[in-house]
C-alpha cells in the first residue's frame, strides 16, 4: 500500500493521439501563443511608453495583459512540446507547479475583471469625481490585492489537491494538470476536498461576477441617460465587447468548476479549458485595448517613432 500511493509523474492524454494531427495542432497552438505574447506584451509596452496612458484604467489593462501572458505560459508551452515530441509525461513537481501558477493567475484574472468593471463604473457614472474616487494609489492597492488573493487561492486549491494519495492510475484525461482530472486519480475519499474546492470556487467566481455585472448594470443605466446618440452607441459598443470577453471567461470557468461531479465529461472539460487557457488571453488585447481610441493613437505614435528611427 505504501508503494502504491507514490506517483512520481503523470501521463497526460492530451487533446488527441492521432499522429497526423500533432504537427497541425502544434502550428495552430504556436500561432495562438505568439499572438497572445505579442498582443499582451505590446500592450504593456505601449502603456509604459506613453505618458497619456499612465492612468488607473490602463494600470488595470497592463496588469490584465501581464497575467494573461503568465497563465497562458503556464500551460501552452508544455502542450506544444507534447505535440512536437509526443512525450506527454509531466513530473509530479512539474504538475504541482503548473497547477499552482495556472490557478493563481486565473484567479487574478477574475478579480482584475471585477476591478476593471468598477473602474469603468466610476468613470462613466460620476466622471467629474473619477479622478478623486479612483486614485493611482487606490488602483495600485486594488491590483496588488488581486494578486495576493489569487496566490492565496492557489495555495488552497493546490494544497487540497496534492495532499491526496494517487494509486488508481497516473493517467490524466486532460492536456494539462487541472484540478478535476487530477482529483479523479486519487484512491482516497475526495468528498471533503471537492466540497472545499467547490465552495471556494463558487465564492470567488460569484463575488467577482456580482461586482462585474453590478458595475456594468450601473454603466448601462448611465449610458441610457446620455443625451448624445453617438456617445451612447460608442459606449454600448465598448461595453458589449468587454462583456463578451467576460462571458466567455466566466462561462467556461463555471462550466468547468461549478458543475456537479456526476455531470463531468473530460472531453467537454478539455474544450472548455481550451477557451479560458488559450483563446481568452488572445482575445483580451483586441477586446479591451485595440478598439480603444487612446491605445490606437499611442500605437500610431510608436509606429511613427520606429519609422523615423529605422529610416535611412
- The pLDDT tens digits of the residues spanning 226-259 come to 777 776 766 666 666 667 767 777 776 776 666 6
Residue 259 Cα to chain centre, angstroms: 19
CATH homologous superfamily for the domain 3-306: Rhodopsin 7-helix transmembrane proteins (1.20.1070.10)
Cα gap 112→99, rounded to integer Å: 20
The domain limits of the chain are 3-306
Distance in angstroms (rounded) separating the CA atoms of residues 207 and 110: 9
- pLDDT, mean of residues 210-227: 83
Confidence label for 266 from pLDDT (cuts 50, 70 and 90)? low
Record the pTM: 0.85
The pairing of beta strand 89-91 with beta strand 9-12:
antiparallel
| High-pLDDT (> 70) share of the chain, % | 84
Answer with the residue of higher pLDDT: 187 or 40: 40
Weakest-pLDDT range from 83-97, 122-136, 152-166, 245-259: 245-259
Which of 171-175, 275-279, 294-298 has maximum average pLDDT?
Answer: 171-175
Q: Dihedral of CA 248/252/257/259: which sign?
A: positive
Task: Compare 149 and 309 and report the one with higher pLDDT.
Answer: 149
Q: For residues 183 and 168, is the Cβ–Cβ distance under 8 A?
A: no
pLDDT surpasses 50 at 292: yes
- Between CA 62 and CA 41 the distance in angstroms is 9
Distances (CA, A) of 197 to 149, 240, 243, 269: 15, 32, 26, 17
- Indicate whether 74 pLDDT > 60: yes
- How far apart CA 227 and CA 249 sit, in angstroms, is 33
C-alpha cell at 82: 507534447
Amino acid at each position: 500500500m505504501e508503494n502504491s500511493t507514490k506517483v512520481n509523474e503523470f501521463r497526460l492524454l492530451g487533446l488527441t493521439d492521432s499522429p497526423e494531427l500533432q504537427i497541425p495542432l502544434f502550428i495552430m497552438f504556436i500561432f495562438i501563443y505568439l499572438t497572445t505574447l505579442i498582443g499582451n506584451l505590446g500592450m504593456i509596452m505601449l502603456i509604459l511608453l506613453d505618458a497619456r496612458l499612465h492612468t488607473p484604467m490602463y494600470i488595470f489593462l497592463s496588469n490584465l495583459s501581464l497575467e494573461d501572458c503568465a497563465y497562458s505560459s503556464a500551460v501552452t508551452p508544455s502542450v506544444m512540446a507534447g505535440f512536437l515530441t509526443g512525450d506527454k509525461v509531466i513530473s509530479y513537481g512539474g504538475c504541482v507547479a503548473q497547477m499552482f501558477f495556472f490557478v493563481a493567475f486565473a484567479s487574478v484574472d477574475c478579480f482584475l475583471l471585477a476591478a476593471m468593471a468598477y473602474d469603468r463604473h466610476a468613470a462613466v457614472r460620476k466622471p467629474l469625481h473619477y479622478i478623486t474616487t479612483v486614485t493611482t494609489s487606490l488602483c495600485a492597492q486594488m491590483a496588488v490585492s488581486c494578486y495576493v488573493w489569487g496566490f492565496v487561492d492557489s495555495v488552497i486549491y493546490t494544497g487540497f489537491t496534492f495532499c491526496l494519495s494517487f494509486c488508481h492510475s497516473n493517467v490524466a484525461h486532460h492536456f494539462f494538470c487541472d484540478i478535476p482530472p487530477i482529483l479523479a486519480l486519487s484512491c482516497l475519499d475526495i468528498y471533503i476536498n471537492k466540497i472545499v474546492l467547490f465552495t471556494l470556487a463558487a465564492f470567488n467566481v460569484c463575488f467577482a461576477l456580482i461586482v462585474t455585472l453590478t458595475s456594468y448594470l450601473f454603466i448601462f443605466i448611465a449610458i441610457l441617460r446620455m443625451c448624445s446618440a453617438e456617445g451612447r452607441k460608442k459606449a454600448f459598443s465598448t461595453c458589449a465587447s468587454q462583456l463578451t470577453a467576460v462571458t466567455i471567461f466566466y462561462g467556461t470557468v463555471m462550466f468547468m468548476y461549478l458543475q456537479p461531479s456526476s455531470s463531468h465529461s473530460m472531453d467537454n472539460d478539455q474544450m472548455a479549458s481550451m477557451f479560458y487557457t488559450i483563446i481568452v488571453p488572445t482575445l483580451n488585447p483586441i477586446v479591451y485595448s485595440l478598439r480603444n481610441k487612446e491605445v490606437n493613437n499611442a500605437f500610431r505614435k510608436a509606429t511613427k517613432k520606429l519609422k523615423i528611427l529605422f529610416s535611412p
